[in-house]
Amino acid sequence: MTIQQLIHKNLEQLFGTTIPDNLVQIQKTKKEFKGHLTLVAFPLLKLSKKNPVDTATEIGNYLKKNEAAIADFNVIQGFLNLTIAPNYWLELLNEIDKNPKFGTREADANAPLVMIEYSSPNTNKPLHLGHIRNNLLGYSISEILKATGNKVVKTNIVNDRGIHICKSMLAWQRWGNGATPESTGKKGDHLIGDYYVKFDQEYKKELAQLMAGGLDEKTAAEKSTLMLDAREMLRQWEAGDLAVRSLWETMNKWVYAGFDITYKALGVDFDKIYYESQTYLEGKDTVLDGLKKGVFYKKEDGSVWADLTGDSLDEKLLLRADGTSVYMTQDIGTAKLRFDDYPINKMVYVVGNEQNYHFQVLSLLLDKLGFEFGKGLVHFSYGMVELPEGKMKSREGTVVDADDLIDEMVRTAKETSEELGKLDDYSEAEANEVARTVGLGALKYFILKVDPRKNMTFNPKESIDFNGNTGPFVQYTYARIQSILRRRGNPCGCPPCEQGKGQPQGQPQGLPLRIAEKEETLIQLMSEFPATVQDAADNFSPAIIANYVYELAKEYNQFYHDFPILKEENADVRNFRLVLSKNVGEIIKTGFRLLGINVPDRM
């Protein structure tokens, strides 16, 4: 049993009754007080019929007398601070050491199925910094939910149709001169993104000319031939025009090839990809069916709307007057198809907080259409990511391109590592691999350590630092541990003896080994890993794991500087510290794996 379970069992024996879990409140003892764990006595006063101090004292005396794991206690007002016996920590380390999957559990046959939607790119531009945060959060949340016993389907909805796609297509037709990824040497998503920016530039020129002729901005926008042509192209696409569809397919293929390269570099993947070009018709049919049933209504111009004023919202457009779909219509169709395809228990949308209202409406509309899953949709709303220079705008071409950022991070990681001498004696190929691992680790960790619901500023220079709360600091700690384990058989530099080979083994139960307070702290922190993973899953927050792993790495480094490991003369103490080190490394590796971050064996 865990120490919490042991305390709970003893409390029930002391008071002679079953005690609900919520009354047994146990937390880590604050650093200014002596002890490992603190039991809050106040919820138990009805059982003890005593004041808080007497209740805590009574429980402390009982635990010290009847539970071998409790070595001592002290009472501060109504808080019982418990000191755990050293042998308990040794036994706990042995249990951790025996479990190669410590902190995680696999899904069984009856596990719930969770579908996670993330990425959701548009095929008119490359992925940028905002997409990076989305992809990293979605992938990490998926891995965390899998580690807590859920079945998970990672899904992506590609926005491959609509007016924004037509803008890129029209600009390429007019100003592209037949450019291709091969002829320009550009990734396909970058090439198409250039023409999206080109459309916006030419559109603004046209507006300026119309306004210079005396039109106001609204009228100028209505008279814009460029925008009218883009809308006509969208109408032709929905009508199945062969030439428009052929151009659309060609340009989308270029974009998908570019996306695949970026996804591979980021280390994210998907189990199922949906395309709006395939789901919007399903949504259109569902909306028209809702119109027949009186769920929606049609205006004089032929557009279809949902009246949500009775739900304290507004009216929502679902089909335009020309019959073309809007995003909401497409999302309705995609949701229906997903629940037709999979027995989903929970659907989670990883989408930025600027779409909060959209998903509030989507959930309500699906419910009104009679879908049982409507109210159960989860919008994981995360904050925006900016650079120190400010916000980014795709149409103006001021975004931070994902590929460029990845390359910059890897390049900076290599330069920094070389300056610090961490790549000495490495071959060029090995140095490049470590630089990629560290650069991507720095990028991912810096983004994932922030509470996902908060807006954040990404600073590339701050992220690559081998000190402080950064990915490289944690990665270097792991590499340091692997170096210790490799050298355990030859701490003096001589060839390893036979006894030194293999992995360090756990301590025999009941071994009379005295361990230091810092070592107890490390084991206690390690024991919190399963609860930390579960907490991260419950809150959809990779930041909880990221900051836990940092605290573990920081504690280990303090231990490393204060206590000898390979040079410890007592063989039992040396082996204990090797076992401790090995398992700290395993938890770091597992924690970072749940964040989608690799750890290098050497640095």
Ranges in the chain annotated CATH 1.10.730.10: 409-594
Pairing of strands 37-40, 70-76: unpaired
CA separation for the pair 192, 249 (Å, rounded):
13
pLDDT averaged per 10 residues, the chain (length 603): 86 94 92 92 94 95 92 94 91 92 94 96 93 97 98 96 94 96 96 95 95 93 95 92 97 97 97 93 93 95 95 93 86 94 95 94 94 91 80 51 92 89 88 94 96 90 85 96 85 41 50 81 95 96 98 97 94 93 97 97 89
CA separation for the pair 273, 271 (Å, rounded):
7
Q: If one looks up domain 409-594 in CATH, what number appears?
A: 1.10.730.10
Give the three-class secondary structure for 298. Answer: strand
Angle between helices 571-594 and 542-562 (to 10 degrees): 160
CB contact set of 173 (below 8 Å; sequence gap of 6+): 247
DSSP assigned state of 50: S
CB contact set of 189 (below 8 Å; sequence gap of 6+): 123, 125, 126, 127, 254, 255, 258, 259, 262
- Residue 43 phi, psi (nearest 5): -65, -15
**By the 8 A CB rule, do 435 and 410 touch?**
yes
The correct CATH number of 118-386 out of 3.30.470.30, 3.30.420.140, 3.40.50.620, 3.30.2270.10 is 3.40.50.620
Ranges in the chain annotated CATH 3.30.1360.70: 3-84
- The pLDDT value recorded for residue 491 is 43
Residue of 350, 336, 192 lying closest to 270 (CA atoms): 350
CA separation for the pair 119, 122 (Å, rounded):
9
CA separation for the pair 543, 553 (Å, rounded):
15
Give the three-class secondary structure for 182. Answer: helix
Both tokens assigned to 426: 């490495």
Give the three-class secondary structure for 442. Answer: helix
For CA atoms 535, 539, 543, 546, give the dihedral sign.
positive
- The pLDDT value recorded for residue 500 is 42
The correct CATH number of 3-84 out of 3.30.1360.70, 3.20.20.70, 3.30.1330.60, 3.90.1150.220 is 3.30.1360.70
- Residue 124 phi, psi (nearest 5): -110, 5
Angle at 121 between CA 339 and CA 116, to 5 degrees: 35
How crowded is residue 149: how many other Cβ atoms within 10 Å of its Cβ?
A: 16
Residue environment code for 525-554, b if the CB has 16+ CB neighbours within 10 A, otherwise e: bbbbbbebbbbbbeebbbbbbbbbbbebbb
DSSP assigned state of 303: -
- The pLDDT value recorded for residue 392 is 43
